[in-house]
Chain A
Amino acid sequence: ETGVTQSPTHLIKTRGQQVTLRCSSQSGHNTVSWYQQALGQGPQFIFQYYREEENGRGNFPPRFSGLQFPNYSSELNVNALELDDSALYLCASSGDRGRGEQFFGPGTRLTVL
């Protein structure tokens, strides 16, 4: 176990809805990164939060947004869900702005119908 937790484990939504996914980072870590992993593919970097500020973003539209709280836990929000948003969403916590080792959570499986 990495000490990184994510909720919920599974989620089913319909097109156009909004979703919020949550991640609790490992104790002592101030950086959280979010990834989208489609079936059979490697994870794609969405964005990273360091000390409550966005600290890098991948090639995802603005309807993917995030938040990091003072305790370094984080949320990923996706608006106007599309079918292609169906994926495993992973968060990873680390120190040192992600330069060091990253510890991944178990992921949230999102299905958009």
Chain B
Amino acid sequence: KNQVEQSPQSLIILEGKNCTLQCNYTVSPFSNLRWYKQDTGRGPVSLTIMTFSENTKSNGRYTATLDADTKQSSLHITASQLSDSASYICVVSEMNNNDMRFGAGTRLTVKP
């Protein structure tokens, strides 16, 4: 069973709208949580990295939140643009080794 679960699996929104993607994890002990954006056929690009002591991190129109108690994270995208269409992947690293557990991603489509 994947230790990182993302929802929704896919999402379609109109350009200019906001959206929030969810990530729940069971990885323990937890070291850090990352959000990546991956365009089709390309390597993932880092958006945010948060350690267990951080509860929010912003990168332009992207804001990630983390609740280490409930083991939940979200990625909020404001004022979406057509170029935001991509897969967004949540990645959780274990404390004791370098195993990074990837979620299956949320496929976001932004339509004009």
Name the interface size band of chain A.
Answer: 20 to 34
Closest partner residue, chain B, to A109 (CB atom): B41
CB-contact partner of A98 in B46, B98, B102, under 8 A: B98
Instruction: Tell me, yes or no, whether A25 is within 8 Å of chain B by CB.
Output: no
Q: How far is the CA of A53 from the CA of B51 in the complex (A)?
A: 26
> Provided the pairs A42-B104, A99-B32 are in contact, do residues A58 and B43 lie with their beta carbons within 8 angstroms?
no
Interface residue stretch chosen among A43-51, A63-71, A79-87? A43-51
Instruction: Tell me, yes or no, whether A2 is within 8 Å of chain B by CB.
Output: yes
Q: Which residues of A contact B100 (CB under 8 A)?
A: 33, 45, 98
Instruction: Tell me, yes or no, whether A18 is within 8 Å of chain B by CB.
Output: no
Do A99 and B31 touch across chains, with their CB atoms under 8 A apart?
A: yes
The proximity string for B residues 93-108 relative to A, scoring 1 for CB distances below 8 Å and 0 otherwise, is: 1000111111111000
Do B105 and A42 touch across chains, with their CB atoms under 8 A apart?
A: yes
Instruction: Tell me, yes or no, whether B89 is within 8 Å of chain A by CB.
Output: yes
Do A107 and B46 touch across chains, with their CB atoms under 8 A apart?
A: no
| Minimum C-beta distance from B92 to chain A (A) | 11
Do B41 and A107 touch across chains, with their CB atoms under 8 A apart?
A: yes
> Provided the pairs A45-B102, A97-B98, A99-B31 are in contact, do residues A106 and B42 lie with their beta carbons within 8 angstroms?
yes
In order of increasing CB-CB distance, the 7 nearest A-B pairs are A104-B43, A56-B98, A42-B102, A42-B104, A43-B102, A48-B98, A56-B97
List 6 A-B pairs, Cβ < 8 Å.
Answer: A35-B102, A43-B102, A45-B99, A56-B99, A58-B99, A107-B43
Q: Which residues does B use to contact A, with CB under 8 Å?
A: 4, 31-32, 34, 36, 41-46, 49, 89, 91, 93, 97-105
